[in-house]
Structure 1
Amino acid sequence: MTSTVPPAPTTSPSPTKPPTRTAPEAPTLDDRIAGALVGAAVGDALGGPVEGRSAEQIAARHGGGVTGIVGPWDGEDWRTARPIAPYHKGDGHVTDDTLMTHALVRVYAKVRGRLDAYAVAEHLVPELIGEPRWIPELEAEALPLQRVFLAEKWIVARLHYGHVDPREAGCGNIVNCGAAMYMAPVGLVNAAHPQAAYAEAIDIAGAHQSSYGREAAGVFAAGVAAACAPGATPESVVETCLSLAKDGTRSAIEAVCETAARHRDFAAALAPLREAVAPFDTVGPDYRAPSLGARRPSRLHSIEELPVALGMLLVAGGDYRRAVLGSVNYGRDCDSIATMSGALAGALHGERAVPADWADAVATASRLDLRAPARTLARVAREMFARDTARRRAHEAAFTTLAGTP
């Protein structure tokens, strides 16, 4: 076959430059905070309706898996299907993960500084019992206390009624993801400083959890802080988490992430990730029927949610949509897993990573402004950084004088 050569132009064409391709600008602090908080809420809403189900049940119920916002598992019977949890999970409604996250943001807005276990007693408890708020799953205004799980009601029982030392109040509670699930704000006010995030979250979580539940809270906050660092990657986030995690939490993250590194398709990774985390998970194979040893303190075990969220972040290569859908279709406590992976992916890439149609639908259905908490927290983070910088410089000056060094 011969090619046809076009005739030479009669006039010289004007030179044209190839289109300039500019890489997207790196997300700013404000953008990363918005990405993390909006991303966490959207992940929470997508995972809520299938929480507690197995990956196989989810695939069967939703024609191969969840691909976006879906309705309640039990349809119109959502109020009565599980009397212990008469909540409208689905249709874009956020769950207690987001309610607790937003409550912690409001605490930061009041304190405008570092939080500790005493801040939980003085400020978070009043957030739970002091003012009715719109609760999407109840489709009514109610005290947040009336929606949160029993492990979060523990905070009120121990601190408000029991007058327990806040630093010890978490002891005796079931060991679960209850504290970790709302620690993203701690990582965000400590953006790019995971060690500080870990320490602050460990202190805060002492009022709520103990053992590996408290540890997971610290590691998740550190992971969010690491995801905010310029140039962060899913791999660097995991490396940071491993550098700080202790005992079974570290072992679980290592095992899950080693498995995750061999997968790029979340559907194919569902069973291998569950197999990798199973030796560290005390709940057992049936999430709705926990084993007798479930959720008890241990140095050998870990919550399931954080390692799987980190694993899904790796499988997805940091892509928000794939990380969250992988977390949702994993099943079990998938709203909390998707809350965590959504926060991490959102912090890595900023709000543009979160599908706008999902975010708008969740905000509308939940009757919540998902971006207002991010604006508030960004202002608090800047104030905290300014005070931290002043304290650090004062210490440097004092130490220099003491040590006699120039």
Structure 2
Amino acid sequence: MTAAAPTDAWAYLLAETGTGPGSPPPVLAAATPSDGLRDRFVATIVGGAVGDALGRPVERWAREDVASTYPDGLRDYVRSPGDGSGPAGTITDDTQLSLEVARWLVAGGVDDVPDAAEFGRRVAAWGPVAIMAGEGSEGSARRLAAGDPWWLSGRPTIGNGVAMRSAAIGLRYQGDGGRIREAVARSGMTTHRHTTGVAGGVIISSLVSHLLAGDGQEPDVAAALDAAVSGLDGVRLEGHPVGAGPATATLVESVRSIESMLHLTTHEVFDHFFNGSRVTESLPCALWLFFRYGHDPERLLVEAVSGGRDADTIAAMCGNLAGARHGLDAFPARWTGDDLEFRDELETLALELYRLWAAERGSR
């Protein structure tokens, strides 16, 4: 007989993996509802899809092949073979699953964090139509469809699948570190039953929340990184290789090291962390790119895809962060119009997330 579903997914994950005890929910700054903030909600969701679509053609490419094919940088959407007459800016599993997270949150309404079983059903339905997905997430979708419960369907993977899809959680629960962490754990464990894998989602959604509380100007790097990892105090994460030597670092240590690396070049950073599909690789790369080039979203995303490998996911996370800081007009119009697949639904969901969040803020 399967045990009852855990009511506190974050605590369950730490206990199951022996990485606790964790800490009380972090305190994150709360934003004030405004028209400008509404636009930044939209830009966070749309920006992620922009990065995903821009990077899709060069996912898994070698850096040298990207440079030789696009000597001036990949700056426009490239229609993939077989896309027919659809939009040139076609998306991958990054945006597919980001949409599922946003739909899950919107369907949950004003109640507390939605039921994880409902997100599991969404992942199961996504599996057969997944685009360029990792085997970990697709395998979890098959297990969910076969009846595995959501807290057992994931595998102990440190892939970036939770981080790439969690920005909407930072919108819906902006300023509420406890609900951000719990929503990431509930949705994340359906595919990733590893604390580091889920921690990536906590970091990206907490940073989105922090940026939305700012004024859109250059963020204080140390304060922003503190906010990003604040939900992981008391969590024991394992080290992973960094650099060319024998050194290792946890995900939190890698994130905190970014402030001291802003003088490096993009490819030096890609060589240090490796711009691959592990969250310990791609998330530090994305955060470094944002703090180095976030003042210019076009340059940011062109740099993000220049290294190939997991280009679409790194660019998607960069797009989320740039949108949260700046708003939609900071992106080139050629990227945010009808050439972007799912453009209208992305905006509609972002506006619904804003409505739910603002309604709660107004009732406090």
Band the TM-score falls in, shorter-chain normalisation: 0.7 to 0.9
Query: 1:94-119: CA deviations, max 9, x gaps?
Result: 11111111122111222113135333
Q: Distance in 2 between matches of 1:108 and 1:231?
A: 26
Contact 1:198 1:218 in 2 (8 A): yes
Contact 1:89 1:95 in 2 (8 A): no
1:63 equivalent to 2:71? Answer yes
Q: 1:87 to 1:108 in 2, by over 3 A?
A: farther
Q: 1:103 to 1:315 in 2, by over 3 A?
A: same
Q: 1:337 to 1:169 in 2, by over 3 A?
A: same
Contact 1:324 1:341 in 2 (8 A): yes
Q: Distance in 1 between matches of 2:73 and 2:301?
A: 12
1:359 aligned residue (332, 336, 341)? 336
2:321 aligned residue (344, 351, 357)? 344
Identity of aligned residues (%): 24
Aligned residues: 309
Contact 1:35 1:350 in 2 (8 A): yes
2:253 aligned residue (251, 254, 269)? 251
Q: Distance in 1 between matches of 2:48 and 2:161?
A: 15
1:155 aligned residue (105, 129, 140)? 140
Residue correspondence of structure 1 range 118-133 to structure 2 within 5 A: 118-121=117-120, 123-125=121-123, 127-128=125-126
Contact 1:192 1:227 in 2 (8 A): no
Query: How far off is 1:50 after superposition?
Result: 0.7
Max radius of gyration: which structure?
1
Residue correspondence of structure 1 range 43-192 to structure 2 within 5 A: 43-72=51-80, 78=81, 91-112=88-109, 113=111, 114-115=113-114, 117-121=116-120, 123-125=121-123, 127-128=125-126, 144-145=129-130, 148-164=133-149, 166-172=150-156, 174-192=157-175
Contact 2:92 2:131 in 1 (8 A): no
Q: TM-score, normalised by structure 1?
A: 0.68
Q: Distance in 2 between matches of 1:330 and 1:56?
A: 8
Unmatched 5+ stretches in structure 2: 1-33, 238-249
Alignment match, 1:237? 224
Alignment match, 2:27? none
Query: How far off is 1:163 after superposition?
Result: 2.5
Alignment match, 2:14? none
Query: How far off is 1:145 after superposition?
Result: 4.3
Alignment match, 1:378? 354
Q: Distance in 2 between matches of 1:231 and 1:88?
A: 40
Q: 1:126 to 1:57 in 2, by over 3 A?
A: closer
Residue correspondence of structure 1 range 14-53 to structure 2 within 5 A: 28-53=36-61
Contact 1:51 1:334 in 2 (8 A): yes
Name which structure has the greater RCO, CA cutoff 8 Å, separation 6+. 2
**Which is worse superposed, 220-229 or 27-36?**
27-36
Alignment match, 2:288? 311
1:326 equivalent to 2:303? Answer yes
Alignment match, 1:205? 188
Query: How far off is 1:127 after superposition?
Result: 4.9
Q: Distance in 2 between matches of 1:116 and 1:256?
A: 35
Contact 2:273 2:282 in 1 (8 A): no
Q: TM-score, normalised by structure 2?
A: 0.75
Q: Distance in 2 between matches of 1:29 and 1:89?
A: 31
Query: How far off is 1:351 after superposition?
Result: 1.4
Q: Distance in 1 between matches of 2:91 and 2:174?
A: 25
Contact 1:44 1:98 in 2 (8 A): yes
Q: 1:71 to 1:125 in 2, by over 3 A?
A: closer
**Which is worse superposed, 335-344 or 370-379?**
370-379
Query: 1:276-324: CA deviations, max 9, x gaps?
Result: 314xx8x6xxx8xxxxxxx6xxxxxx53221111100111144322221
Q: 1:37 to 1:271 in 2, by over 3 A?
A: same
Contact 1:27 1:349 in 2 (8 A): no
Q: How large is the Cα RMSD of the aligned pairs?
A: 2.9
**Which is worse superposed, 227-236 or 350-359?**
227-236
